[in-house]
Amino acid sequence: GAGVSQSPSNKVTEKGKDVELRCDPISGHTALYWYRQRLGQGLEFLIYFQGNSAPDKSGLPSDRFSAERTGESVSTLTIQRTQQEDSAVYLCASSLRTVSGYTFGSGTRLTVV
Amino acid sequence: RKEVEQDPGPFNVPEGATVAFNCTYSNSASQSFFWYRQDCRKEPKLLMSVYSSGNEDGRFTAQLNRASQYISLLIRDSKLSDSATYLCVVYILTGGGNKLTFGTGTQLKVEL
Residue contact B98–A42, C-beta within 8 A: no
User: What is d(CA A12, CA B33) in angstroms, rounded to the nearest whole number?
Assistant: 35
pLDDT, tens digit (0-9, with 9 covering 90-100), for A70-113: 998 999 999 999 999 999 999 999 988 756 678 999 999 999 99
Specify the 3-state DSSP secondary structure of B82. Answer: helix
Residue B112 three-state SS: coil
**Nearest Cβ partner for A106 among B36, B43, B105:** B43
Q: Measured at the alpha carbon of residue A67, what is the angle toward residues A65 and A73, in degrees to the nearest 5?
A: 160
pLDDT digits (tens, 9 = 90+) for B34-67: 999 999 989 999 999 998 888 999 999 999 999 9
Assess contact for A113 and A105: CB atoms under 8 A: no
Q: Are strands A10-13 and A88-95 parallel, antiparallel or unpaired?
A: unpaired
Q: Which of B31, B43, B45 lies nearest to residue A99, judging by beta carbons? A: B31
Residue B60's pLDDT is: 98
Confidence of residue A56 (pLDDT cuts 50, 70, 90): confident
What is the distance between the alpha carbons of residues A95 and A99, in angstroms, rounded to a whole number? 9
